[in-house]
Amino acid sequence: MRKIKKVTPYLFLIFVFITVIFSFRANPFSNVLSGHDSSMFLYFGKGISDGLIPYKDMLDHKGPILFIIQYLAVLAGFGNFSLGIWLIECLFFLGTLFFLYKTCYLCINDKLISAVSVTFLTPLFILCYDGGNYSEEFALLFISISLYFFCKIFFKRRVSRVEYLLVGFLGAATFFIRLNMISLWVVFCLFLVYINLKDKNKKLLFQQVKYIFLGGITLTILIIAISLFQNNLEEMFYQAFIMNISYSNSNLSEKINTAFAFIELLLKSGVFSLVVIFFVSILQKRVGQKNRFYFVLCIYFVVNFVTVVLSGRYYTHYLVTQFAPLVIMIAFALQFIVSTIAGRKRNLLAVIILLTMIIPITISSVRTYNFGFNLKPSLDTEQTKIISEYINKNSKKSDTIYVHNINANIYLLSDRYSNSRYFVLPSINYDNFPSMKKEFVRNLYFNRPKFIVVRKQLLSDGSTSSNLNNEVLKALKNYDQIITVKSDNYLLFKDNH
């Protein structure tokens, strides 16, 4: 019985790991193609492996660390980028689980409750990872490791210089994935400054600032050096920061609607009630050292949630960075619930009662992603493969193509690259970026792609200047439709010159 009790927490974690990694689109049993963002990122990784330069030859508003990860995926899969990214995702998710569990255990000193707390995130992992290979899932590992070290500082555990360096290094890595995901470092570093000044511990503060800064500046210098070597520093800065900020613009109404949408998701997952219980529990506690931690945890939770809704877009993967503070709140809430239940079997009883809260949405998530991805291919998948195969057989590898406002899967499957760096147009209003619009149009005519693929809907919708539809429609006058390629959603055109 004692052995069972000892391994139970790890059985929970193994269940979460296996369930989630087989919800990824890239898993070996999957019959679906990469999602929109994932296909774009893999295009970057494949492009880098073939000598294309990020930001100069391929345009996107994510940071360079994300594309280095995609390049590593191509290497890990020995050219099979789908297998490679799945292996990378498995490693990142394993590390994330490990550090989320360790952080919970550090906070509450209970292995079973810590494991159950992580298990509570299972449906959210599946729903918000949304098939996998999003920037947030990679950033979550860096956030989880750094949060663990920050918690060690708060609970007066010894933190080495290497760990401080690592906190800074991972902060910079997260910054160079996407700049609006660094709320952990902003909140906790400011709080370290505050408590050390208040406690008149300037020597410790100097050591913390020095090593965290050294860790961050080391990676920053390395990224700048690589960009200088590739001669793309200006393009990297503009796309990863200026364009990213523009992409995140939204009005207050959109932000509020997005916030309510994410709260509704937390309610459906059964997690929101535990957040409420956490806040109730801390009102009843009067523990000096932990009061500081509760306070900074709440600040971090709120600030990070603001960054989640900042763009005004309800994309579930945006919520992934919220899992780090969320799992700690769940752990404290579960500990509070268990402590209020009387009896020798209270841990077991509490676990059974609480897990029933997430079973329905977990089953629903597994049916949608794990089973849905692993059954027969969808019609869209089959038709995308047919178009890609036609392009591959009727063009040379040096020929270019253009796929308009779809995703990058046709590029990947046909083994062809875009005629310009605008392989998939970012979701911005190009009327506000006239130079980019001019470059895109110029490439349509002076670096003509051999094939153009568009949605059928484009011909019926007519022109929309904001996403350059009208420019593509004009260019199609110089192309002939390949009517032998049948598709319900897409049309394939070939250059008639």
- Number of residues that this document lists for the chain: 497
Give the closest residue to 107 by CA, choosing from 140, 150, 65, 141: 150
pLDDT grade for 137, boundaries at 50, 70 and 90:
very high
Q: What is the pLDDT of residue 356?
A: 66
314 vs 261: CA distance, rounded Å: 7
Higher pLDDT among residues 363 and 481, named by residue: 481
Q: What are phi and psi of 58, to 5 degrees?
A: -140, 130
pLDDT grade for 208, boundaries at 50, 70 and 90:
very high
Residue 28: Cβ within 10 Å count: 11
408 vs 418: CA distance, rounded Å: 9
Q: What is the pLDDT of residue 345?
A: 60
Q: What are phi and psi of 160, to 5 degrees?
A: -80, 170
Mean confidence (pLDDT) of the chain: 89
User: 133 near 357, Cβ under 8 Å?
Assistant: no
Helices (H) and strands (E) in the chain, counts: 23, 5
Residue 495 bridge partners (DSSP): 479
Q: Taking residues 49-69, what's their average pLDDT?
A: 93
134 vs 38: CA distance, rounded Å: 6
Residue 131 carries which side chain, given as an amino acid letter? Answer: G
Q: Taking residues 5-26, what's their average pLDDT?
A: 92
Cα angle value 352/355/356 (rounded, 5°): 85
Q: What is the pLDDT of residue 286?
A: 58
370, pLDDT greater than 90: no
Higher pLDDT among residues 356 and 84, named by residue: 84
From the number of C-beta atoms within 10 Å of its C-beta (0-12, 13-18, 19+), residue 31 rates as: middle
The runs of H, that is alpha helices, within 269-345 are 272-283, 288-309, 323-340
Q: What percent of the chain has pLDDT over 70?
A: 90
Pairing of the two strands 400-403 and 479-481: unpaired
Residue 314 carries which side chain, given as an amino acid letter? Answer: Y
Residue 453 bridge partners (DSSP): 403, 492
295, pLDDT greater than 60: yes
CA distances to 384, 387, 482, 490 from 486, in Å: 10, 8, 9, 8
9, pLDDT greater than 80: yes
Q: What is the pLDDT of residue 350?
A: 61
Higher pLDDT among residues 416 and 353, named by residue: 416
287, pLDDT greater than 60: no
- Span 312-350, pLDDT tens digits: 889 999 999 999 999 999 999 988 888 876 555 656 666
Q: Taking residues 435-439, what's their average pLDDT?
A: 88
288, pLDDT greater than 60: no
Q: What is the pLDDT of residue 26?
A: 93
380, pLDDT greater than 90: no
* Residue 496 Cα to chain centre, angstroms: 41
368, pLDDT greater than 70: no
Q: What is the pLDDT of residue 200?
A: 85
- Span 223-249, pLDDT tens digits: 999 999 999 999 999 888 888 777 777
Higher pLDDT among residues 364 and 64, named by residue: 64
Domain ranges within the chain, ordered by starting residue: 2-374, 379-495
Higher pLDDT among residues 377 and 147, named by residue: 147
268, pLDDT greater than 90: no
Q: Average the pLDDT over each of 22-26, 224-228, 356-360 and give the range with the smallest value.
A: 356-360
Q: What percent of the chain has pLDDT over 90?
A: 64
- 3 state DSSP class of 375: coil
Pairing of the two strands 451-455 and 400-403: parallel
449 vs 495: CA distance, rounded Å: 7
pLDDT grade for 291, boundaries at 50, 70 and 90:
confident
- 3 state DSSP class of 455: strand
- Span 28-45, pLDDT tens digits: 988 889 999 999 999 999
- 3 state DSSP class of 429: coil
Give the closest residue to 276 by CA, choosing from 286, 285, 287, 266: 266
Higher pLDDT among residues 418 and 250, named by residue: 418
Q: What is the pLDDT of residue 376?
A: 63
Give the closest residue to 429 by CA, choosing from 243, 231, 150: 243
Q: Taking residues 430-440, what's their average pLDDT?
A: 83
95 vs 16: CA distance, rounded Å: 13
Residue 455 bridge partners (DSSP): 490
